[in-house]
Structure 1
Amino acid sequence: MFRDEDLKLLARPLYALLTVAPRGERWPAPRPVWFEAAPDGTLQMFSDPGAPKLAQLRDQPRASVVVTAPVGEPEHWVSVEGTVTLHDDGGAELAARLADRYYDMSVPAHQQLVEEWKAGGMTRLVLHPEKVNRFAA
């Protein structure tokens, strides 16, 4: 579902804004997350196993993400909607891989955080795209 220009944007260390169905009377509230476009055409993210968004995804396994180029560059964004599956395996490995993409891993505090993620385990979220919207100036 992704075009070449989508994949170029998604390969950059940008934040995705993840939106899941809210509880009760709350409004949807996007959260910035690290992500990876996987070779199988999915988007993969990770989360602490106790995060409220995971409870919401268990109730309603659908979400959307938006990734956009930063200010100062030509407008370019990709929006993805789809179902989400949650996995107990691969979350810590994904978190460590993404830390290399998003963090300066020579910083001891970053190294410590990744070790904590590995020790505590992370849940892997896999967004299976059903609809992709995009814009590139």
Structure 2
Amino acid sequence: MFRDEDLALLARPLYAFLTVAPRGDRWPAPRPVWFEVTDDGDLQMFSLPDAPKLERLRERPRASVVVAAPTGEPEHWVSVEGPVTLHDDGGVELATRLAERYYDMSDPKRQILVDEWRSGGVVRIVLRPERVNRFSM
């Protein structure tokens, strides 16, 4: 579902803004997350096991993500929506891999955080694209 220019944008260490169904009378509130595109064309992210978004995803397993080029670059964004699955396996490996993509891992504070994820566990979130929208200048 992704075009080459989509994949080029998604390969960069940019934040994805994840939106899940809200509870009650609340409005959707996107959250910045790290992500990667899998070989199968899915997007995967991770979360701490007690994050409220996971409870909402268990109730309604659908989400959307938007990734945009930073200010100062030609406008380019990709929006993805589809069903979500949650996995207890692979989360720590994903978090470690993404930390290397997004962080300077020579910083001991960053290593401590990754060690906390390893000891406490994280949940892997996989979004299978059903719909992809995009804009590129």
> Normalised by the shorter chain, which TM-score bucket?
over 0.9
Q: Does the residue aligned with 2:84 lie in a helix, a strand or coil?
A: strand
Partner of 1:133 in structure 2? 133
Alignment of 1:119-130 (within 5 A): 119-130=119-130
Instruction: Give the drift of 1:66.
Output: 0.1
**Which residue does the alignment assign to 2:58?**
58
Q: In the TM superposition, what is the alpha-carbon distance from 1:100 to its structure 2 partner?
A: 0.3
CA distance in 2, matches of 1:32, 1:108: 23
What is the root-mean-square deviation in Å for CA atoms of aligned residues?
0.3
Aligned mates of 1:2, 1:39 — CA distance in 2: 12
Compute the displacement of 1:29 (Å). 0.2
Q: Distance in 1 between matches of 2:63 and 2:3?
A: 20
Partner of 1:30: 30
Other-structure match for 1:92:
92
TM-score (norm 2): 0.99
Q: Secondary structure at the match of 1:129?
A: coil
Runs of 4+ deviating beyond 4 Å = none
- How many residues in Structure 1 have an aligned counterpart in Structure 2? 137
Distance 2:134 2:110 in 1: 33
Supply the distance in 2 between the matched residues of 1:15 and 1:47 (Cα, whole angstroms).
Answer: 14
Cα distance in 2 for partners of 1:10, 1:49 equals 25
Matches within 5 A, 1:2-81: 2-81=2-81
**Percentage identity across paired residues of the two chains:** 76
Q: Alpha-carbon deviation of 1:98?
A: 0.1
Structure 2 unmatched runs, 5+ = none
TM-score, with structure 1 as normaliser? 0.99
